[in-house]
Structure 1
Amino acid sequence: MEAAPSDNSLSRLGRRLNQRIQYLLDKSSPHIIGRWICLLLALVGYVARVWYLRGFYIVSYGLGIYNLNLLLGFITPQFDPELEGPELPTKADEEFRPFVRRLPEFKFWYASIKSILVGTGMTFFSVFDVPVFWPILLLYWFVLFFVTMKRQIRHMIKHRYLPFTFGKKKYGKGSVAKDSK
């Protein structure tokens, strides 16, 4: 039986590489702290490379805008109460609905690490080193960040949600659920 034209050695190599990457991603899924340390190290490496080369500020600005967009997806609820339904519960007798993110943590991490690796790869090609006055870009990014976060924090306060949880809630010996009495 003859192999299909698209089933050449290059496509088989690509499939094996994709399977290996997916295997590593699956293995890294439960290691949240390790993944974020890896992202931080990649970001430090990127910043060090840009600092050393004294260029690629447009690439850095693009990375900043892209990762700001990812952060907004990460801290935004999946269903916006203003557009898609009732507010989140505010009283103890209301139905409990956990905070569900528009962009899950793993996808946020994965998109961020890919963007930093692509940005680092772009620093090896001088075509992406567009000469700009970088303090203006930095100032504009900070203004954009603060305006966006101000709007997002107002949304959080208005709808009374917090996008972060810090571990499982602990109860003391004396606390007993009302249903068990």
Structure 2
Amino acid sequence: MDAVEEPMSAFGAVTAQTNKLSRQYQALLDQSTPHTLYRWVGTGVLLVFFFARVFFAQGWYIVAYALGIYLLNLFLAFLQPKFDPSNEALDNDMEDGSLGSLPTKQDEEFRPFIRRLPEFKFWHAATRAISISFVCTWFEVFNVPVFWPVLVMYWIMLFVLTMRKQIQHMIKYRYVPFTVGKARYTKNSS
């Protein structure tokens, strides 16, 4: 009877420790939420360490390329609205025959810009990806020999083409994903 209870208690102990670590990690994430600038500076420093590791080790270009593609994908999701106006335009076109866009006049419905990928999730996913990539640079199995200038040129072309498409989409449906020039209200501004 003791032999049966021992694996269950060992499993229970592992589960309890995993839950405890998960709660502590979530508490750290919750504490870091309001410190946007510091979070991004830390991520930037981690990215510099990663690039320095790749540069000085002269390898792991595939890992760097995969990280670049993943970060580009995250950035595009960060720039896009949660509810794509092009899909709504197609729906409106089918219903009433007119193409819709975001409101531009006083009498149109106001819909605030909501990102498909919120800033905190963008930061968290980017930091986690950079950390994993940095760890991968310490294992020789990930050091696949490639001609790195081709990867750099391909990534630059991919970046330019996808950003051009994203900017055209932003212009066509008239949305700005950044809050540049947003009015700030203080106690005395009545």
Question: Alpha-carbon deviation of 1:16?
Answer: 1.8
Consecutive unaligned residues of structure 1, counting only runs of 5 or more, are 177-181
| 2:134 pairs with one of 120, 125, 141 | 120
> What residue is the counterpart of 1:69 in the other structure?
73
Instruction: Say yes or no: does 1:51 pair with 2:55.
Output: yes
Give matches, 1:13-162, under 5 Å.
Answer: 13-85=17-89, 86-162=100-176
Distance 2:19 2:56 in 1: 36
SS of the residue corresponding to residue 172 of structure 2 reads helix
CA apart distance, 1:128: 0.0
The C-alpha deviation readout for 1:70-120, integer Å capped at 9, x for no partner, is: 001000011111113542111233222111000000000000000000000
Q: Secondary structure at the match of 2:183?
A: coil
Query: Which amino acid in the other structure matches residue 122 of structure 1?
Result: C
Q: CA deviation at 1:6?
A: 6.2
Aligned to 1:179: none
Q: Identity of aligned pairs, percent?
A: 51
Instruction: Give the deviation of 1:21 after TM superposition.
Output: 0.9
Distance in 2 between residues matched to 1:66 and 1:123, nearest whole Å = 16
- Name the SS for the 1:7 alignment partner: helix
Deviates further, 122-131 or 92-101: 92-101
Flag structure 2 segments of 5+ consecutive residues without an equivalent.
90-99
User: What is the count of residue pairs matched by the alignment?
Assistant: 172
Aligned CA-pair RMSD: 2.0
Superposition deviation, residue 12 in structure 1:
2.6
**Aligned equivalent of 2:95:** none
Partner deviation per Cα, 1:126-173 (whole Å, 9 max, x = no partner): 0000000000000000000000000000000000111000364158xx
TM-score by length of structure 1 reads 0.88
* Matches of 2:21 and 2:133, distance apart in 1: 21
Rounded Cα–Cα distance in structure 2 between residues aligned with 1:84 and 1:113? 33
Aligned residue type for 2:112: P
Q: For the residues of structure 1 that align with 2:181 and 2:33, how far apart are their CA atoms?
A: 18
